[in-house]
Structure 1
């Protein structure tokens, strides 16, 4: 059984800050967001986690292996180096969606995202080391079959982007509603999904659903581990097997 630990990272009072005392330059805001995401991703990644930018002002991370002290250190580090602060909600669950819902509720209960009095809230719980297992995290790594030949080398860059994003959007909706999973576009033609315990048949259904809905062909490698890095690295190896053998679904542990 999976036991995913999820952290919601929310920038405190970010919307009002971007227009106070007057609207800030968009290029500066985009630069701040990308640098902040990169720093959070590196901090979490150095401890075995995965971080996903989602909307940049709300960032989702799979943080199995990180303690509450680690989360507090992240807040302190960002607060020392950026003109914004972070509130964090941390929760665990047998499905990533449930863990995220609980983490989100903790942040929302602390105050609105645009409440100027809410700063650096931290609440939740992590998985004790004694209760961690190699089945806690299941990561699926999808990509588009021959994206270069079918899209990159045939269409202009924006039309290629549309095709890839359509595949991502359809997969994201399907995995969320059918399997309580969280899917994230991570660049190129790659999608990483934090999943509960799913079967090979579940993944086959997902790729066929996307193909039928938007005519984008996917393949997927799946791994599991104590943390997102371990599970994700196994998923990468499984995906390489798909590419080498022409298969559509590979589970690294089988």
Structure 2
């Protein structure tokens, strides 16, 4: 059974800050956001977690293996280096979407994202070390079949981007609605999904849905481990197996080890 620990990272009072005392230059804001994401990714990644940028003023992290002290240190580090602060909400659940709902509720209860008095909230629960297992985190790494040949080398960049984004939107919507999984575009033609316990048929159904809905053909490698980093590396190796064998779904470890949808 999976136990996803999700952290919502929210920049405090960011909207008002961007226009106070006057609207700030857009490229300055883009630079700040990208550097902040890079620092978050480095901090969380060094502790075997994953961070996804989503809307940049809000980011989502898979933080199995990070405790409250790690989160407090992250807030201190960002507060010392940036003109903005961050609030963090965490949640734990077998279903990633439910874990993120819990993480979000904690921050919303503490105040609005544009509340000038809300600063560096740290709220939520953390998966106890004694309850952690090698089956806690399930990562699915999706890749578009022959994206270079079909899109990059055939279409202009913007039209290629539209095709890839349509595939991303379809898999994101399907996995969220059908399984409570959370999917994130990570560049190129790659999508990473944080999933609950699912079997091979569930992944095949998702791939079929995306091909029918968006006309984009996918393959996926799946990994399961105690941390996002290890699960993600298993997923990458499984994806390479797809490429080598010409398959569309490969699980990084046997079903009896990784668990099944009935866990």
Task: Give 4+ residue runs of structure 1 displaced > 4 Å after superposition.
Answer: none
CA distance in 1, matches of 2:71, 2:210: 36
Partner residue, 2:135:
135
Where does residue 207 of structure 1 map in the other structure?
207
The corresponding residue for 1:244 is: 244
Structure 1, unmatched stretches of 5+, are: none
In the alignment, what sits opposite 2:87? 87
Shift of 1:89: 0.3
Taking the aligned partners of 2:35 and 2:243, their CA distance within structure 1 comes to 33
Partner deviation per Cα, 1:87-145 (whole Å, 9 max, x = no partner)? 00011001000000000000000100000000000011111111100000000000100
Q: Which runs of 5+ in 2 are unaligned?
A: 255-263
- Residue 157 (structure 1) aligns with: 157
**How do 1:94-133 residues align onto structure 2 when only pairs under 5 Å count?**
94-133=94-133
- SS of the counterpart of 2:183? strand
Aligned pairs for 1:1-254 (under 5 A) are: 1-254=1-254
Determine the C-alpha separation between the residues in 2 that align with 1:96 and 1:106: 16
Instruction: Please give the per-residue CA displacement for 1:158-205, whole angstroms capped at 9, x wherever unaligned.
Output: 100000000000110000000100000000000000000000000000
For 1:32 and 1:175, how far apart are their aligned partners in 2? 31
Which secondary structure state, in structure 2, belongs to the residue aligned with residue 242 of structure 1? helix
TM-score (norm 1): 0.99
TM-score for both structures, normalised by structure 2: 0.96
Looking at structure 2, the residues matched to 32 and 243 of structure 1 have their Cα atoms a distance apart, in angstroms, of 37
What is the RMSD computed on CA atoms of the aligned residues?
A: 0.4
Give the CA deviation at 1:40: 0.3
- Secondary structure of 2:134's match? coil
Alpha-carbon displacement from aligned partner over 1:27-74 (angstroms, at most 9, x marks no partner): 000000000000001100000100000000000000000010000000
- Aligned partners of 1:50 and 1:229: how far apart in 2? 7
> How many residues are aligned here?
254
